[in-house]
Amino acid sequence: MVEEFGSPSSYIQGKGVLFESDKYLKNFGTKPLLLAGETVYKIVGKRFEQYLQESGYDVTRVQFNGESSTNEVNRVTEIGKENNVTVVYGLGGGKTVDTAKAIADNLHLPVVIMPTLASNDAPCSRLSVIYTDDGGFDHYRFYNQNPNLVLVDTQVIANGPVRMLISGIADALATNVEAQAVAKANSDTMLGEKQTLVGNAIAQKCEETLFNYSHLAVADAEAHVVTPAFSNIVEGNTLMSGLGFESGGLSGAHAIHDGLTTLEETHDLTHGEKVAYGTLTQLMLEGADQERYNKYFQFILSLGLPTTLADLHLENVTDEELLNAGKAACSEQDTMDRLPFKVSPDDVAQALRAVDAYTKQYLNSHHCHHSQM
């Protein structure tokens, strides 16, 4: 049995680190390609580009078009070639980050990931999720190594939308639920080998951190302040969830997320919001008892994340549509088969409805006010 653990060479997190980053970045040469979307460029990228220029860097700035698709990867790869860049910087959210990794791989160059949100666990991993040009899940693209450096500026993240931090918590909450199922099944992780003790331990530490600090961190995010509790959640969402999902493995929740992306109504929900529902659906598939289910359900509910089909804009979904989502979730390209039991598309469809049914019963019996997403 072969076990494997993967991680970025360095992970640096702190308040204001983007604007003190020359000492970390100069090892990768002074001709970076800076990939950033339009909004991110306005908020932080322009100031960062000026900092780089003042520090003696020759910056090739490219505006990311919003989709981590093969066409976008190829477009930016050509710009990198023309300008003889020495490194790729990905500044932004998950799709910018995933695109930067693919471009660097094409160019055989180092990549520095600079997440502006703690909204998902993409930054640290050696894979990208490649979408179609119109936003459907296409495939995972794997690389030989993880990013050379992940640089996380906690003040930039604290200034971002609170919804995105909560989405990151939701994405991270799936990490241990999925990793423990992978361990039980003795399945392969996202590295294509078996779990290390370290990979499993990080997944557990991730979950513990989320339950201990999430509500404190959300309050901090509302006020745009950086505290130890906030920093713990940024690390939980980014480093622990990243190492945990990759070296601990994905199973049900993310496969269910990918199934949900086939339903157009869910497109304006974030990755994490769909993963939250996926986690509850995996627990239903596992036959979790009420105590175990409630532990995650009450936490997800307390953060205002989706717990009903209506929250996913699927209040009118047909059985056939849920079955199609189930088929996509059970695709051979995905990770449903890493669970310790066999799952059919119909099982997924039933479990998606079961989550909805339980939430409705719970809310009726608790008479609590539930706001729509």
Cβ burial of 341 (10 Å; 0-12, 13-18, 19+) is: exposed
Instruction: Tell me the C-alpha distance between 333 and 38, whole Å.
Output: 32
SS3 3: strand
DSSP SS3 for 35: strand
Question: 254, 311, 313, 334: which one is catalytic?
Answer: 254
**SS3 breakdown of the chain: % helix, strand, coil, rounded to 5?**
55, 10, 30
Token pair of 181 as six digits: 């199922």
Task: Tell me which of 98, 271, 311, 334 is the catalytic residue.
Answer: 271
Phi, psi (rounded to 5 degrees) for 87: -160, 155
Question: Which two structure tokens, joined as six digits, stand for 89?
Answer: 């910087």
The half-sphere exposure of 304 on its side-chain side, counting CA atoms within 13 A, is 12
Residue 268 annotated as catalytic: no
Residue 254 appears among annotated catalytic residues: yes
Strand-strand pairing, 137-142 and 127-131: antiparallel
Output the DSSP codes for 137-157.
Answer: EEEEEE-SS--SEEEEEHHHH
Length, in residues, of the chain: 373
d(CA 178, CA 175): 5
CB-CB contact of 362 with 314 (8 Å): no
Distances (CA, A) of 51 to 28, 47, 105, 225, 330: 16, 6, 26, 23, 47
| Cβ(176)–Cβ(299) below 8 Å | no
Contact 236, 172 (CB under 8 A): yes
Identified catalytic residue from 257, 258, 311, 313: 257
**From 98, 121, 171, 258, the catalytic residue:** 171
The residues assigned a catalytic role are: 171, 254, 257, 271
